[in-house]
Structure 1
Amino acid sequence: MPQPTTRARRTGHPGYSETLPRQPESAAPARRLVRAACAAWRLDDLAEDGALIVSELVANAVQHARRDSIRVVVERPGTARVRIGVVDFSKTPPVRKAPGPEDEGGRGLALVTELAEGWGSEPLPWGKRVWAELHG
């Protein structure tokens, strides 16, 4: 499996990213990436919420994307802010819907909404990036 990459940002804060197979098992390395980034930035108080959020975003990408891989990106847009994104090759934007009591799924974006300061999606020429932001 490829190693995460780090690159400098204009703000001087690094970003972490990793390309992962589009499989449910990719949630575990995505969580490790979020925890490692938060630890490097001394934002440990955001790590567990970030790990839950990335798990949900990866699960959605696994279910809805079209190609064999996804990309997880963890950025630090501000001193006490972390932005977690999952890039996939589907152009269909995520839809938050209220699941019924018998539904097994459909609660992921509700959890992201609860934990994150904000979330959304950005269209890309080949797909989309779904992101969530945490503030410390």
Structure 2
Amino acid sequence: MPQPTTQARPTGCPGYSETLPREPRSAAAARRLVRVALAAWGLDDLADDGTLIVSELVSNAVRHARRESIRVVIDRPEARRVRIGVVDFSQACPVRGNPGATDESGRGLALVGELAEAWGTDPLPWGKRVWAECAQKND
């Protein structure tokens, strides 16, 4: 399996990314990558929300994307803010579901919307990046 990569960003903070198979088990690897990045940045208090967010984004990509791989990307655009993204090869934008009480799926993006300060989709020439941002609260 490919190893995670780090790369310096304009903010001076490294970004973390890893290409993973488009399989349900990749959510566990994505959660580990989020925890590693947040620990390296001293933002451990964002780990619970960050790991739930990346799990939902990976789950959507596994269910709806094309091709055999996805890419998880974690950036730190500001000292107290992280952006967690999943890149895939589908250009179809995610749609927030409106599940009924007995539906077993369709709540993922609603959960992301509740946990994240912001979330969205960046179209790419060959697919898209779905991202969510979390930030430490000012004390």
**Structures share fold, TM-score greater than 0.5:** yes
Shift of 1:35: 0.3
TM-score (norm 1): 0.99
Deviation per CA, 1:54-109: give whole Å up to 9, x if none. Answer: 00000000000010000000000000000000000000000002101121100000
- Partner secondary structure for residue 130 of structure 1: strand
Deviation at 1:15, TM superposition (A): 0.1
Give the aligned partner of residue 126 of structure 2: 126
Q: Work out the CA distance in 2 between the residues paired with 1:97 and 1:123.
A: 20
Matched with 2:31 is 31
Aligned mates of 1:46, 1:132 — CA distance in 2: 12
Paired position in structure 1 for 2:84: 84
Matched residues, number: 136
Partner of 1:62: 62
After TM superposition, the runs of 4+ consecutive aligned structure 1 residues lying more than 4 A away are none
1:52 corresponds to: 52
Report SS of the residue matched to 2:42. Answer: coil
Give the TM-score normalised by the residue count of structure 2.
Answer: 0.97
| Whole-angstrom distance in 2 between the partners of 1:124 and 1:103 | 32
- Cα distance in 2 for residues equivalent to 1:69 and 1:92: 16
Identity, in percent, stands at 75
Any stretches of 5+ residues in structure 2 without a counterpart?
Answer: none
- Structure 1 residue matching 2:25: 3-state secondary structure: helix
Give the structure 1 partner of residue 20 of structure 2: 20
Cα distance in 1, alignment partners of residues 133 and 20 from structure 2: 21
Report SS of the residue matched to 1:24.
Answer: coil
**Gaps (5+ residues) in structure 1?**
none
Distance 1:21 1:61 in 2: 11
Task: Encode CA deviations 1:18-72: one digit per residue, 9 max, x unaligned.
Answer: 0000000000000000000000000000011000000000000000001000000
Distance 1:97 1:106 in 2: 5
SS of aligned partner of 1:104: coil
CA distance in 2, matches of 1:17, 1:131: 13
Q: Measure the CA separation in 1 of the matches of 2:135 and 2:40.
A: 16
